[in-house]
Each structure stands twice: as C-alpha cells, then as structure tokens.
Structure 1
C-alpha cells in the first residue's frame, strides 16, 4: 500500500474530525477507515486481535495465539470517528476507553502501543 493513499484518504476526513465540516460521504469515510486499518494490520501483523469498525472493515492483527473458529478472544470495536481520531492522534487510547468509545475484550485488546498510526494535519 502506498502511504500517500492513506494520507490522502485521512486528510479528506480531517475537517470532520476537527469539527469544521459535516460527516464526509460514505465512500470517503470508508476509504479512510479501510486504509488506516490495513496500515494497522501491516504495522502489527498477526491474528490474535480483531479490530472492528462497522460497517466499514475489520482486520486481524498483533502477534500471539491465533484463533481459528468463532469469535476471537481479543476483540476491539468502535465507530469510524473514534477509530480515525485514534489513528490520527486526536484521541488517546486511554481517553477512548475511559469514555466508553471503545469496546475491548480480552487480555491483548489494547492498541495503546500501536497508536497513533499517523499525525495527519497536526
């Protein structure tokens, strides 16, 4: 994946994240979520944690015990805005968890050491 594609996709949603614009069109938001989740999976390869941002995408990442059937033991789920705020450093993992913006279950369901992915427009 070309890092410029990720930057372009994320920069397209920054005005919304910063409160200066309404939510972007669904394809624009979907591209930002999908490319940033792919980046997470590349940065932390593995299959022990599943990160879900419905309805846009889900990835498996982080090395460790791999699950083969059913729901994985380590699941993280959040909405698109929360994910993109985390990915760009606009929201800390601790604040997202404390604010109940992230549902995380399992002993490995902690992305604090992997975020932010980038600091676009900071």
Structure 2
C-alpha cells in the first residue's frame, strides 16, 4: 500500500509556492518546490477520490488515477484531466474552478467522468 500523504507536508508545499500561485508576476518557485506542491496536492486528491476511472496529469510532475468506477489498464484512458502546474495549483487551492479553466482552455478534460475531479477541489484552500 502506498504511503499516505501528510496534510502538514502538503500545506507546507502549497505555502512555499502560494505567492506565485496567486500572482504569476511574482518570482517563480524552484522546480523542486513546484514538483512537491503538484505531487502532494494531486496525491491528496487521489486519496480523497480513490479509484482508477480518471487520470489527472500535471506534466512534468505527476499523474494519478482517481474516481471510483471502471478501471482503465491499457493505452490512453478515456477520462483525462491535464493541465500545467500553475493552473493545477490554482485549482487545488480554490483560486479558480475546473469549469472556468476548461472554458478558458487551460485544462484539457476529456471523457464523461473528467468533471468528477471537481468534487474534490479545492484540496488545500488558500482563501
């Protein structure tokens, strides 16, 4: 069984990049800070919405499977949500919504179950 994410570690990872997540004009975090924030928030969401129906991708840092339902095992999954690290972190912190980012074209969501990812957002609200 995979190690569960630590809420304090996830919060610290998000706080380390929070200024940049709120304001793209501020100093960009290091690659390792971005990776940590993306990985911990995505893995926390996967724990909150367990399953294998939807694949959440935040390249180049993390891909997780979530949402209960039919298990996907080969090739490209039928339900995929993919976005860049900053957009993901804005979603994970509640600074934007999945519907708004899909409409803006910053999130690629395919498949009938992709919108179910929104049920678990925000992961760590920044407020």
TM-score, L = length of structure 2: 0.92
- The answer on 1:36 being equivalent to 2:41 is yes
1:114 alignment partner in structure 2? 120
- The answer on 1:70 being equivalent to 2:75 is yes
2:95 alignment partner in structure 1? 90
**How many residue pairs end up in the alignment?**
121
Q: Does the aligned pair in 1 maintain the 2:81–2:114 contact within 8 Å?
A: yes
Root mean square deviation of aligned Cα: 1.0
Q: Larger deviation: 107-116 or 80-89?
A: 107-116
2:54 alignment partner in structure 1? 49
Runs of 4+ in 1 over 2 A off after TM superposition: none
Deviations 1:62-114 (A, max 9, x none): 00011111111101100000000000000111111110010011000112221
1:10 alignment partner in structure 2? 14
Q: Distance in 2 between matches of 1:50 and 1:75?
A: 5
**Structure 2 portions without partners, runs of 5+:** none
